[in-house]
Chains A and B, each alone.
Chain A
């Protein structure tokens, strides 16, 4: 007992507290007096401000309906959207083909090895290589080189004047081209044209002929007919058949497709014996959906405001949390603030003031890291609160404040602070190992960690386990799933229906759950790994520093 009636252990702890307080406070004040600290924090803040401005801007524009399946596009500019062209079996890459434009039907051909190599008639000819003696020829039938329709503007006189037979032995017109003889005959190579006459095809070459079906009028549909046209149909009962092909692009019942122009299409992709439906697979608990398997083109373009607005909002939070907080702030802040925590004291010659006091060198390292964490951690926490206030107020939904957002942002701050601690301990150790080269090693490790984070984002779960960033990112994924338990469902929908959401890109289900698929398990594992890395780095630094002679 001391004079104030405190027990021995209490007295020791109180003194430790005071020393910890003094060194932590000194570290904070030192960092505060360095310009580089303010520059780094300023840049970090600017980044966060810009991201929140970006979000505010996106919200102001509203969640514009997104054409998830891309069938509202009119790629060939013929006025008909892809979805409408598909119904008529016409190409959206050829302006000559559009609904009602008529299609080519082949009637006959001269094959490469046929004995009869002459044909006379009035046709649309295609892939023609040969000499054509015309009765009439449609010089106005135009097209580009890629549609293989002969462009008569580029047809000149042939070099081998009248001797067409000789010409046929040494073919030299060029692919997709033709030339005219003085007697009015034409030499063609791989072209399409219209006309009546006699065609001679050299052996080893090919020509086909046919007719165009009738042209009829089809009114172009507006692109908006093909946006949000196939909403999600899910009533929550996984035992029933789910999903409905609202826009009919899976069922194709009333589609005006010719027998040959329709490509093979599997209406029962998911092999459950029902055309154009969706299977929702339940987990062992019989409640949680663990997988969604959809037939192609079913529920693929839902109402974005209703469904993807939420998904993209979460995606934005996860993207900013992972990239800005975990991959940038948590790597760069320690690189600038933690590397010199002990090294700078040695280099400045001020270390002995601190080490001539009754304080263990090991303790000293811990308190220095604590001081660094106070600055960087407070900063990260404040930044997360800024983001939380923006997204929780402006995010989709009927409530005024989205409390879930705040919890997720605090969780992201927590994960980032754990990473800051681990990187801080690591970089401080590097500064101790080599005061001259530590910064270069730290830079290399920083890049390595960034690459591992990118690998983690792209779904790798094996190699990146040897990194701090991997576990931090998994912690963020876990926290998101703990707070918003339907995130997994949204993610599965993105995968099953091909929705192009930010969430689907940046969020992935936690990988390391010991087979439980429980986000709490992955969160706890991640926290343990990060703390383990931190503690082992601090121990390593302590043992290194304890035995070091200070000149």
Chain B
């Protein structure tokens, strides 16, 4: 199935959602069509609210949501073209993976035979062909996530919405799920993936939407945002037994504008150009002859990004 009209898959127009006095999302407008888009935000940023609005589970307090031009609160017709993977871990544990996917496929109007063959296909696509006839209750966390993804893909949707699909998965499962999501993007589907971990999204897509406290904070290419971030004050934390000796080796280096001793065995280097700082770092350490235990970038996470984007000190 492909997008048949020029209507974007997702259009959100000045949409707000309030739960009584508590705000879920606040005046968000965006349009998404094609490719993988990461929805980034810490817990409580409004990612799930946004997805529930998309899936017609919630009614916007103001503004509008349109999927392929149709309001999902009023009509179920967009669901023919949408696959949704919720964040919930609850499933019908007594069913087999294949059963789960094929039963739900029949809700798209497929015959039993169509549903079975589609279920086999998508279970294979998510890498669960071998275990598809085992009960879901016996699946690992990662396998369960992949069954959920399979059920969302069974009707070959144009838009796939995945709410925290990597949450709680082990590294192997993460890699496998990430690869599935990238494949979908490459197939030309519109994919929305939410996460509160920057690194996860970075490995899947460059196109991101950042939500914070219910507001749309940033929208665009992750690298551009990152570059922007790199040009701003940044910390590098070096753990060593001789932080003061190492500090003297950095004095005078171009990208470094200051040093700080936050702990007895650590040195904080302050820089305005993170990549430049990292490029000169090895040479300086080798020259100094001081043993270094670890090098960390404490600001290279979503919190720091958000702090920076909302105008706080990073």
A90 to chain B, nearest CB (A): 77
Which residues of A lie under 8 Å from residue B77 when comparing CB positions?
358
Q: Which of A350, A352, A358 contacts B80 (CB 8 A)?
A: A358
Which one of B107, B110, B152 lies within 8 Å of A359 (CB-CB)?
B107
**Cα–Cα distance between A352 and B104 once the two chains are bound (Å):** 11
Cβ contact within 8 Å between A357 and B104: yes
Taking a contact as CB atoms under 8 Å apart, the answer to whether A15 and B109 are in contact is yes
CB of A9 within 8 Å of the partner chain = no
8 Å CB contacts to A: which residues of B69-93?
76-77, 79-80, 82, 84, 86, 88, 90-92
Q: For chain B, what secondary structure do more than half of its interface residues adopt (helix, strand, loop), or is it mixed?
A: loop
Q: Are A357 and B103 in contact (CB under 8 A)?
A: no
A2 to B253, CA, bound (A): 73
A39: interface (CB < 8 Å): no
Tally of A interface residues using CB under 8 Å: 28
Contact of B59 with A by CB under 8 A: yes
Closest to B107 in A: A357
Question: Which chain B residue lies CB-closest to A550?
Answer: B57
Answer whether residue B257 sits at the interface, using C-beta atoms and an 8 A cutoff: no
B111 at the interface (CB under 8 A from A): yes
Chain A residues with Cβ below 8 Å from B95 are 29
- Asked if B106 contacts A360 (CB within 8 A), the reply is no
Shortest B181–chain A CB gap in Å is 18
Is there contact, CB below 8 Å, between A352 and B107?
Answer: no
B58 at the interface (CB under 8 A from A): yes
Return the CB mask of B40-67 against A: 1 if under 8 Å, else 0.
0000000000001001111100000000
- A536, B57: Cα distance in complex, Å: 25
A26 lies within 8 A of chain B by Cβ: yes
Interface size bracket, B side: 20 to 34
Q: A215-236, CB under 8 A of B: which get 1 and which 0?
A: 0000000000000000000000
A258 close to chain B: CB less than 8 A: no
Chain B residue at minimum C-beta to C-beta distance from A12: B109
Query: B residues within 8 A CB of A549?
Result: 57-59
The 8 A CB mask of A332-358 against B (1 = contact, 0 = none) is 000000000000000011101111111
Q: Nearest Cβ in chain B — how far from A215, in angstroms?
A: 86
Instruction: Tell whether, in the assembled complex, residue A19 and residue B84 are in contact, meaning their CB atoms are under 8 Å apart.
Output: no
Give complex CA distance A22, B109 in Å: 9
Determine if A22 and B103 form an interchain contact, defined as CB atoms under 8 angstroms apart: yes
When distances are taken between beta carbons in the complex, the residues of chain A under 8 Å from B56 are 355
- Name the distance in Å between B208's Cβ and chain A's nearest Cβ: 24
Q: Which of B79, B88, B110 contacts A18 (CB 8 A)?
A: B110
Chain A interface mostly: helix
Closest chain A residue to B111 by CB distance?
Answer: A18
Asked whether, in the complex, the Cβ of B88 is within 8 Å of the Cβ of A19, the reply is no
Task: Provide the residues of chain B in CB contact with A551, threshold 8 Å.
Answer: 52, 57-58
The residues in A between 288 and 330 inclusive whose CB is less than 8 angstroms from any CB of B are: none
Contacts of B76 in A (CB 8 A): 357-360
Residues on B with C-beta less than 8 A from A357 are: 76, 79, 104, 107-108
For A23, list chain B residues within 8 Å (CB): 107
- Docked pose: A54 CA to B152 CA in angstroms: 55
Closest to B53 in A: A549
Using Cβ atoms and an 8 Å threshold, which residues of chain B touch A16? 109
Q: CB-CB < 8 A to B110: which residues of A?
A: 18
* C-alpha spacing A21/B106, complex, angstroms: 8
Contact of B106 with A18 in the complex, beta carbons under 8 Å: yes
How far, in angstroms, from A21 to B108 measured CA to CA in the complex?
12
Q: Does B94 contact A (CB under 8 A)?
A: yes
B151 at the interface (CB under 8 A from A): yes
Q: Please tell me if A272 contacts chain B, counting CB pairs below 8 Å.
A: no
> In the complex, A86 Cα to B235 Cα: how many Å?
117
Kindly state the separation between the CA atoms of A356 and B88 in the bound complex, as whole angstroms: 13
B contact residues around A29 at 8 Å (CB): 94-95
In the complex, what's the smallest C-beta–C-beta distance from B265 to chain A, in angstroms? Answer: 46
Digitize A13-54: 1 where CB-to-B-CB distance is under 8 Å, 0 elsewhere.
011101101110110011001000000000000000000000
Contact status of A353 and B151, CB under 8 A, knowing A549-B57, A549-B59: yes
In the assembled complex, the CB of A170 is this many whole angstroms from the nearest CB of chain B, namely 89
The smallest C-beta distance from A155 to any residue of chain B, in angstroms, reads 87
Per a CB cutoff under 8 Å, which of A14, A22, A25, A350 touches B92?
A: A350
**Sample (12) of A-B pairs whose CB atoms are under 8 Å apart:** A349-B90, A350-B91, A352-B57, A352-B84, A353-B104, A354-B104, A354-B107, A356-B82, A356-B152, A549-B58, A549-B59, A550-B58
The 6 closest A-B pairs by CB, nearest first: A15-B109, A22-B106, A357-B107, A349-B90, A356-B84, A358-B79
Extra contacts, 16 of them, besides A22-B107, A25-B103 (Cβ < 8 A), are A15-B109, A16-B109, A18-B111, A19-B107, A29-B95, A33-B94, A352-B55, A352-B57, A353-B104, A354-B104, A355-B57, A356-B152, A357-B108, A358-B108, A358-B109, A551-B57
